Structure 1
Amino acid sequence: MSETDVLYNAQCPVCSREIDHYARLTEAQALPLSYDDLNDVTTLARWGVTADDAARRLHVRRNGALYVGVPAFIVLWQSLPRYRWLAWLVSLPGLYRLAHWTYEGVLAPLLYRSHLRRQAKRA
């Protein structure tokens, strides 16, 4: 199995809840996945992405290839035995388009705006 790295926003309540769930599964099954918080400056340097780009969508790296958005979820789910069925399902052409539209057009923008509001409150 290949090494898979996940870059996510640990300060986002929705993102952290979901990724924490995956991390628990990873640990329980000793899977070769790692989870990096985009709020760590050294992490962003290793990933080669800006904090803003990282906050906009989920990023996953496998075997040196970078996946962003729905493709990142698919790669992550393929790495988790319990979620391989979901990766397969979302990869189907019609469902992929629906998932892409929902994530890119609705969910990711909502989460990103929430991220900006949290940052503004901290400033």
Structure 2
Amino acid sequence: MSAPRSVTALAGIFAVAGVVHLVKPELYEPLMPSWVPAHREVILGSGVAELALAAGLAAPRTRRLAGWGSVALLVGVYPGNVQMAVDAVKGDNPAFTAAALARLPLQWPLIRMALRATRED
């Protein structure tokens, strides 16, 4: 069975994000909340996780499990995204603040896509 477009899109988003996390981890370091330990290692680990989830979402046999893993990842990083938005509001970069705030509601459609994958065989 082919994946719904939303699941294919989520796999693509995770694949691109995973590659960027691995190739340019320094892009993410300023975004990391101070309370997260080992910034570089967490960034690289999340890139590996995103690539694994992208592959899992693409394969019908692993789609359901990868869907649950995607939900867990997206929910798990949400507090960091909230902290990033809080920090951005305190800063003096309006573009970064806008991007950090816009990212928060955009996470919910991604979680919906991941939940849809949990219902696909």
TM-score w.r.t. structure 1 length?
Answer: 0.40
Structure-2-length-normalised TM-score: 0.41
Larger Rg: 2
Bigger helix share: 2
Indicate the structure with greater strand content: 1
Could you say which structure has the greater relative contact order, defined with CA pairs below 8 angstroms and 6 or more residues apart?
2
